[in-house]
């Protein structure tokens, strides 16, 4: 059984493309481009038209980038 979340009730561990872009300081288009190029975690589709990114995966990606830079 799958659970579908209304937009306003999406759990905090899932982020919209706008939230991810804000977190990283880039545009939403950049998030989609990086995701399509497999240079960024892929979104999870809560419904066919509701892509969300797992917060834990975004945090891990940021940490991995920080490790490469340091």
User: Domain locations in the chain?
Assistant: 13-69
Q: What digits encode the pLDDT tens for the residues 16-68? A: 999 999 999 999 999 999 999 999 999 999 999 999 999 999 999 999 999 99
Q: Are 13 and 54 a contacting pair, CB within 8 Å?
A: yes
pLDDT number for residue 9: 52
Question: pTM to 2 decimals?
Answer: 0.79
pLDDT number for residue 1: 47
Question: How far is Cα 49 from Cα 53, in angstroms, rounded to an integer?
Answer: 13
CA dihedral over 56, 62, 64, 67, signed as positive or negative: negative
pLDDT number for residue 70: 80
CATH code of the region 13-69? 1.10.1660
């Amino acid at each position: 059984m799958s659970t579908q979340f209304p937009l306003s009730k999406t759990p905090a561990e899932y982020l919209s493309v706008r939230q991810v872009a804000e977190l990283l300081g880039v545009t939403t288009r950049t998030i989609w481009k990086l995701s399509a190029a497999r240079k960024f975690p892929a979104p999870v589709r809560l419904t066919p038209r509701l892509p969300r990114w797992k917060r834990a995966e975004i945090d891990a990606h940021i940490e991995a980038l920080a490790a490469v830079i340091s």
